[in-house]
């Protein structure tokens, strides 16, 4: 049987109504029943009286159920909801629900449909068509197209967007900026928040087109401090940049190559400089720092001590639900290996280790562990052996087997062995990548 896709919203509204717990409950129940599912976290469709609104992909379309609570989950599986089965919470094919069927969505056309941080989903649903068109046009032609469209601002004054763009284009200035004001102008609507959480790439695409049209190479998003979840989704939507040690850091070149503004690049340079990952030389430039093995060994020592201590606390609180959650992450790692997606694999690897902090009630410790492993993580991502990835998954599985058996000491020993293997790998790769490392 093929993998079943199940959508559970991840936006602020749905989360406030219990969507996170529902998603976890679905994962646990599916594991118990040996049903192969993939949970995709989308934005809300806007029917908050039905949230958490869970959708299942079937041959006839996505079928919706809601409002779903944790207590409803076993009954939904009993009714075969994962194949579109009938249930008191069922609403049929989502697109046929009267509230949605009568609408023609424009700004929110992808919200609820796509995984907000999936570029593949975005492109498959019409994303980047505007940017492709703009790249094939002259700046003045892009501005004229916006003028001809009659597009106006949505902040209240309805000022013609094309006039704004033309004014900026006509300015002969060496530095121009695109600023997105993500502060809500209409009280209580939260439309900006929902768009950023449900379809953040549309904002990034729009700002990129504006920058190309007016000659701006930096962009700023003003985001309210009340919107931490929106900030996290936006951060996830920005592509990871991996550069070899010694590479010159040119803000303009990186921006052009990856299609982002200089704002996230500058922020990354400042942050990574503080962490010792980038070397900044006044009047000369910034360069990706060599991998400093001495610091890496010290960091790994700290990481190992903290992770083993956290694991022991988690072992004393271990439950079947924790096991299912951790093994779901293992399944995601295996999926990433099969897809040849090393970036996704490493993200899931971090999620696996972070989960133990949550299980132990030590969520605050994760930031320290993450900082300690940052240099090592960079090394592994750049030079790690693909053939070792299945071994990593097996080592993770052995740790979980010991926890399930109630053997705290064996679980700790297996985790120590897992982390010790990193030192073995460092020794093996040290000579091969000598130009990139230093003692």
User: For the segment 222-262, what is each residue's pLDDT rounded down to a tens digit?
Assistant: 876 554 554 455 444 433 334 566 777 777 766 665 455 66
148-161, pLDDT tens digit by residue? 999 988 766 788 99
Q: Using the predicted structure, report yes or no on whether residue 380 has a pLDDT greater than 80.
A: no
Average pLDDT in the chain: 83
Residue 345, CB-side half-sphere exposure with 13 Å CA sphere: 23
User: Alpha helix locations (H) across 59-156?
Assistant: 73-78, 98-101, 119-124, 129-135, 139-149
- The fourth-level CATH superfamily of domain 291-438 is GntR ligand-binding domain-like (1.20.120.530)
In this prediction, residue 296 carries a pLDDT of 72
User: What does the alpha-carbon distance between residue 305 and residue 297 come to, in Å, rounded to a whole number?
Assistant: 12
Give the span between the Cα atoms of 24 and 127, in whole angstroms.
30
C-alpha angle 362-73-399 in degrees, rounded to nearest 5: 40
* Residue 166 to residue 304: CA distance in whole angstroms: 56
**98-125 average pLDDT score:** 91
Name which of 2-16, 300-314, 421-435 the model is least confident about. Answer: 421-435
- Joined together, the tokens standing for residue 102 give 């009568």
Under 8 Å between Cβ of 237 and 201: yes
Q: What is the C-alpha separation between 282 and 280, in angstroms, rounded? A: 6
- pLDDT one-digit tens code per residue, 48-69: 999 999 999 999 999 999 999 9
Give yes or no for residue 221 having a pLDDT over 90. no
Task: Of 71-80, 262-271, 285-294, 384-393, give the lowest mean pLDDT range.
Answer: 262-271
| Burial classification of residue 19, based on how many CB atoms lie within 10 Å of its CB (0-12 exposed, 13-18 middle, 19 or more buried) | buried
Architecture of domain 248-288: Orthogonal Bundle (1.10)
- Choose the CATH number for 123-237 among 3.40.250.10, 1.10.150.120, 3.40.50.11540, 3.40.50.300: 3.40.50.11540
Any idea where the domains of the chain sit in the sequence?
A: 4-101, 123-237, 248-288, 291-438
Supply the DSSP symbol for 277: S
The predicted structure's pLDDT at residue 13: 87
Helices (H), 317-388: 320-339, 342-359, 366-383
Can you tell me the distance from the alpha carbon of 415 to that of 117, in angstroms, rounded to the nearest whole number? 31
* Banded pLDDT at 113 (limits 50, 70, 90): very high
Instruction: Say whether pLDDT at 316 is over 80.
Output: yes
- Write down how long the chain is: 439
Comparing 65-74, 260-269, 310-319, 346-355, the range with the smallest average pLDDT is 260-269
Q: What angle do CA 362, 363, 365 make, to 5 degrees?
A: 70
Quickly count: other Cβ atoms within 10 Å of residue 13's Cβ. 19
Binned at pLDDT 50, 70 and 90, residue 336 comes out as confident
Task: Return the structure tokens found at 222.
Answer: 């003003």
Cα separation values, 238 from 113, 162, 287, 386, Å: 20, 27, 21, 24
Q: Model pTM greater than 0.85?
A: no
Q: In the prediction, which pLDDT does 337 show? A: 85
The more confident residue out of 433 and 130 is 130
Q: What percent of the chain has pLDDT over 90?
A: 49
Q: What is the pLDDT of residue 437?
A: 65
Percent of the chain's residues with pLDDT above 70: 77
Backbone angle region of 406, left / alpha / beta, with phi > 0 → left and psi within -120 to 50 → alpha? left
- At 25, is the secondary structure helix, strand, or coil? helix
C-alpha span between 252 and 260 (Å, rounded): 10
Pair 261, 219: CB distance under 8 Å: yes
The whole-number pLDDT of residue 239 equals 30
In DSSP terms, 280 is beta-bridged to 286
Per-residue pLDDT at 385 exceeds 90: no
Reply yes or no on whether the pLDDT at 147 is more than 80: yes
User: Minimum mean pLDDT among 82-91, 107-116, 181-190, 396-405: which range?
Assistant: 181-190
Q: For the purposes of burial, counting CB atoms within 10 Å of the CB of 157, is it exposed (0-12), middle (13-18) or buried (19 or more)?
A: exposed
The CATH architecture one would assign to domain 4-101 is: 3-Layer(aba) Sandwich (3.40)
């Amino acid at each position: 049987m093929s993998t079943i896709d199940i959508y559970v919203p991840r936006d602020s509204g749905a989360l406030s109504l219990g969507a996170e717990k529902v998603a976890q409950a679905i994962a646990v129940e599916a594991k118990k029943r040996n049903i192969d599912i993939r949970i995709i976290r989308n934005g809300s469709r806007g029917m908050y009286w039905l949230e958490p609104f869970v959708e299942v992909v079937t041959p006839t379309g996505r079928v919706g159920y809601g409002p779903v609570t944790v207590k409803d989950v076993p009954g939904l599986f009993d009714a075969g909801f994962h194949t579109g089965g009938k249930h008191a919470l069922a609403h049929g094919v989502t697109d046929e629900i009267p509230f949605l069927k009568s609408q023609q969505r424009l700004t929110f056309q992808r919200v609820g449909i796509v995984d907000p941080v999936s570029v593949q989903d975005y492109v498959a649903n019409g994303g980047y068509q505007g940017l492709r068109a703009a790249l094939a046009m002259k700046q003045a032609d892009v501005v004229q197209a916006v003028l001809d469209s009659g597009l106006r601002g949505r902040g209240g004054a309805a000022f013609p967007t094309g006039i704004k763009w033309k004014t900026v284009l006509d300015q002969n200035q060496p530095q121009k900026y695109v600023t997105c004001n993500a502060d809500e102008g209409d009280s209580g609507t939260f439309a900006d928040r929902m768009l950023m959480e449900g379809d953040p790439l549309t904002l990034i695409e729009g700002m990129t087109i504006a920058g190309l049209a007016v000659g701006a190479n930096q962009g700023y998003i003003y985001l309210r401090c009340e919107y931490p979840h929106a900030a996290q989704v936006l951060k996830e939507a920005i592509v990871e940049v991996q550069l070899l040690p010694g590479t010159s850091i040119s803000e303009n070149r990186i921006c052009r190559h990856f299609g982002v503004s200089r704002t996230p690049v500058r922020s990354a340079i400042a942050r990574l400089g503080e962490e010792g990952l980038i070397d900044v030389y006044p009047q000369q430039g910034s360069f990706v720092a060599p991998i400093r093995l001495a610091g890496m060994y010290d960091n790994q020592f700290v990481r190992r001590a903290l992770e083993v201590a956290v694991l022991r606390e988690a072992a004393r609180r271990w439950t079947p639900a924790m096991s299912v959650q951790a093994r779901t992450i293992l399944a995601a790692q295996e999926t990433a290996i099969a897809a040849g997606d090393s970036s996704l694999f490493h993200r899931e690897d971090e999620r696996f280790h972070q989960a133990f902090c949550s299980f132990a009630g030590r969520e605050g410790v994760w930031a320290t562990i993450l900082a300690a492993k940052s240099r090592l993580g960079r090394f592994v991502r750049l030079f790690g052996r693909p053939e070792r990835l299945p071994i990593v998954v097996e080592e993770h599985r052995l740790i979980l087997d010991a926890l399930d058996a109630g053997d705290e000491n064996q679980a700790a020993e297996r985790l120590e062995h897992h982390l010790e293997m990193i030192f073995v790998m460092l020794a093996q790769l040290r000579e091969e990548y000598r130009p990139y490392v230093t003692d």
